Amino acid sequence: MLISRTPTFKLAALEGEQFDIVVIGGGIIGAGIARDSALRGLRVALFEKRDFGSGTTAGSTRLIHGGLRYLEMLDFSLVRMDLRERETLLRIAPHLVKPLEFIMPFYHSSLFYRCKMKIGMTLYDLLSYDKSLPRHRFLAPGEIKKIEPNLQQQGLQGAAVYFDAQAASPERLCLENIIDAYEHGAQTFNYTEVTEALRSSEAIDGVRVRDLLSDDGAEVSVKSRVVINASGAWFDHVAGGLTNRSSAATLAHAQIRTTKGVHITCPPITNRAVVVFSPVDGRLMFVIPWLGYSLNGTTDTDFTDDPATAHATSEDVDYMLRSVTEYFPTLDTARIYFSNAGVRALVKEEGSASSVSRRHRIEDGARSGPKNLISVLGGKITGYRAIAEEVVDAVCAKLDVNVPCSTSSNPLPGARRGIKPSDASGAGLKNETIAHLVNLYGSRAGEVLQLTASCERLREALSLYAPDVAAQVVFAARTEQCARLVDFLLRRTLLGFSQDQGLNAATRAASLLAQELGWSAARTSAELSLYQDHIAMTQAFRHGVSDLPPTCLPPDGPG
């Protein structure tokens, strides 16, 4: 075949295998750790309970930013780290992370407020002294009206304009870390749950892992010199399992605070990202251009249920509308397409949810728990690479390995080379489709184009609402560890965010996946109904439904 298939990782083959590092959790942070360790030549296995990037990584606001808000909290080192990482990501993943212009309008006329804005913007520029993005500037009300006509003009005094960046698909950013990891020798598994630790006296020597897609939930024991808990919002639950704590003891030892944030999408109301302050409680909110919509977010409320069940309720949406319509009066519930929600894992602190620091913490079990266990608490997508570097440095120190980190200078797989016009010749696709593929896969689009060039059937469109083609399903199944229909629609492509949320593409994609992955008719229909459950979750705010099934849970077996 033209494209190179992902090595087929077999969980059963790991029984008794010895790794240097086992990573629990395939969100952006776990994926970054797996990539960094593999690039340093360590033997690494990563286990993800659902799909890569399907946890909080998929529920984020999708910004790669220093965070002006954290300046207000005087957290300069966090802002500096994230601004430096923003620049790194623009360099190593330019197809996934793109500059985004922001405007922050102000309605106060006081000199104090204007000075505060000027100082904040100047500091933000100073902390990103090595950036490639333009510096801030200020606009007068007349200029703002021209560029953002939908913004409330009454009382408008001016606006600050500055740049940050956006990852339209942090899910794919996560996946490209996984791909780079396995291309450098890591073994990466989705739909595998770490259930407990293998222990010898005070140390953890490995983990028990359950295969969630096998008929019988087969389990294996995998040995490792170091185990990393990078399970994000599930951290305390996983830590409890690794240390054999009861639920009550797990709760008493909780190290993270979990808070929910929701987003709503509506027709585009701005031309650039706009920062506003909620009239309800003064919190900072974003209205961001994303895939042709406006993405509005977010809330910040304590959430202690299973993070997989988080969704926007009618109360969340009501709060969002009250916060945003003050500035964009045309927005109403009828104009919301869908919602999504994520659960933050914040290093535990008292106080209001919004005031809790977004800093990460890395804990070495040698000091505070079982030996050989390293815990990653908190952190943002923006800083994931630096957090991973810090974790792998700690692992290397433990294992007496002296190889420096190289993830900031090595581009991610889709940015390794440019795409040449000859890659597209003979692919039989419209220019618009080719541009879409390059936007999604970077230079890896060349492999999809080879597939479409080889077979006319693979050029067929999957949906009336998006330019995606059948070859992408084959590509996802063969090279991107796509195991389920939800993986394809939400995390290998952006189809699930198209106008009909991917419904038009779902049946065709499911039947192509069935051919590639050998699904029975029963399994194929289970995959379709699981996708319907996901859609219901994103629409739950319309009915106030609160007891929906969690998205992405596997059916009883492959059928």
Which residue's structure tokens are 């212009």? 101
Tell me if 240 contacts ligand FAD by CB under 6 A. no
Instruction: Give the binding range for ligand FAD (CB under 6 A) out of 94-102, 342-350, 401-409, 424-432.
Output: 342-350
Instruction: Give the binding range for ligand FAD (CB under 6 A) out of 87-95, 232-240, 420-428, 493-501.
Output: 232-240
With CB atoms as reference, the residue minimizing the distance to ligand FAD is 27
- Sites for ligand FAD among residues 257-316 (CB under 6 A): 261, 298
Instruction: Give the binding range for ligand FAD (CB under 6 A) out of 23-31, 99-107, 116-124, 147-155.
Output: 23-31
- Report the DSSP beta bridge partners of residue 23: 46, 228
Instruction: Give the binding range for ligand FAD (CB under 6 A) out of 108-116, 230-238, 470-478, 509-517.
Output: 230-238
Q: Which of 14, 42, 60, 83 binds ligand FAD (CB under 6 A)?
A: 60
- Which CB atom, from 105 or from 232, has the smaller least distance to ligand FAD? 232
Instruction: Give the binding range for ligand FAD (CB under 6 A) out of 24-32, 139-147, 365-373, 458-466.
Output: 24-32
In 392-457, DSSP assigns E strands to none
> Contact 374/29 with Cβ under 8 angstroms?
no
C-alpha R_g of the chain:
23
**With 0-12 CB in 10 A as exposed, 13-18 as middle and 19+ as buried, what is 274?**
buried
| DSSP secondary structure string for all residues of 255-280 | -EEEEEEEEEEES---SSEEEEE-TT
Q: Which helix (H) or strand (E) holds 221?
A: strand 219-229
- Which CB atom, from 25 or from 414, has the smaller least distance to ligand FAD? 25
Tell me if 419 contacts ligand FAD by CB under 6 A. no
Distance CA 311, CA 465 (A): 25
Tell me if 372 contacts ligand FAD by CB under 6 A. no
Instruction: Give the binding range for ligand FAD (CB under 6 A) out of 54-62, 402-410, 446-454, 505-513.
Output: 54-62
Distance CA 273, CA 327 (A): 13
- CA-angle at 261, arms to 173 and 300, nearest 5°: 135
Tell me if 524 contacts ligand FAD by CB under 6 A. no
Tell me if 238 contacts ligand FAD by CB under 6 A. yes
| Centroid of chain to Cα 505 | 23
Q: State the minimum distance, in angstroms, from the CB of residue 476 to ligand FAD.
A: 18
- Which CB atom, from 342 or from 369, has the smaller least distance to ligand FAD? 342
- Sites for ligand FAD among residues 164-223 (CB under 6 A): 193-194
Please give the C-alpha separations between residue 366 and each of 30, 363, 398, in angstroms, as whole numbers: 20, 9, 10
Q: Which of 95, 131, 344, 459 binds ligand FAD (CB under 6 A)?
A: 344
- Which CB atom, from 289 or from 342, has the smaller least distance to ligand FAD? 342
> Contact 345/256 with Cβ under 8 angstroms?
yes
Q: State the minimum distance, in angstroms, from the CB of residue 31 to ligand FAD.
A: 7
Q: State the minimum distance, in angstroms, from the CB of residue 39 to ligand FAD.
A: 18
Distance CA 198, CA 226 (A): 12
Q: State the minimum distance, in angstroms, from the CB of residue 311 to ligand FAD.
A: 12
Q: State the minimum distance, in angstroms, from the CB of residue 545 to ligand FAD.
A: 20
- Report the DSSP beta bridge partners of residue 345: 258
- Take residue 79 and report the two structure tokens written for it: 């802002």
- Take residue 124 and report the two structure tokens written for it: 């933000």
> Contact 56/101 with Cβ under 8 angstroms?
no
- Which CB atom, from 29 or from 466, has the smaller least distance to ligand FAD? 29
- Which CB atom, from 28 or from 317, has the smaller least distance to ligand FAD? 28
Distance CA 188, CA 174 (A): 12
Distance CA 325, CA 278 (A): 10
Q: Which of 133, 156, 233, 509 binds ligand FAD (CB under 6 A)?
A: 233
Instruction: Give the binding range for ligand FAD (CB under 6 A) out of 52-60, 270-278, 323-331, 444-452.
Output: 52-60
Tell me if 136 contacts ligand FAD by CB under 6 A. no
Other CB atoms within 10 A of residue 166 CB: 22
Distance CA 538, CA 489 (A): 14
Q: Which of 11, 14, 21, 26 binds ligand FAD (CB under 6 A)?
A: 26
Distance CA 248, CA 365 (A): 21
Instruction: Give the binding range for ligand FAD (CB under 6 A) out of 1-9, 47-55, 493-501, 503-511.
Output: 47-55
- Sites for ligand FAD among residues 482-521 (CB under 6 A): none
- Which CB atom, from 89 or from 506, has the smaller least distance to ligand FAD? 89
Q: State the minimum distance, in angstroms, from the CB of residue 288 to ligand FAD.
A: 9
Tell me if 539 contacts ligand FAD by CB under 6 A. no
- CA-angle at 342, arms to 305 and 386, nearest 5°: 115
Distance CA 559, CA 548 (A): 23
Q: State the minimum distance, in angstroms, from the CB of residue 237 to ligand FAD.
A: 7
- Report the DSSP beta bridge partners of residue 223: 18, 206
Residues binding ligand FAD: number (CB under 6 A): 37
| DSSP secondary structure string for all residues of 277-330 | E-TTT--EEEEEEETTEEEEE---EE--S-GGG----HHHHHHHHHHHTTT-TT
Tell me if 320 contacts ligand FAD by CB under 6 A. no
- Take residue 298 and report the two structure tokens written for it: 């977010």
Q: State the minimum distance, in angstroms, from the CB of residue 377 to ligand FAD.
A: 9
- Which CB atom, from 343 or from 419, has the smaller least distance to ligand FAD? 343
DSSP 492: I
> Contact 16/207 with Cβ under 8 angstroms?
no
**Contacts of 13 by beta carbon, 8 Å cutoff, 6+ apart:** none
Q: Which residues bind ligand FAD (CB under 6 A)?
A: 24-30, 47-50, 54-57, 59-63, 193-194, 230-234, 238, 261, 298, 342-344, 379-382
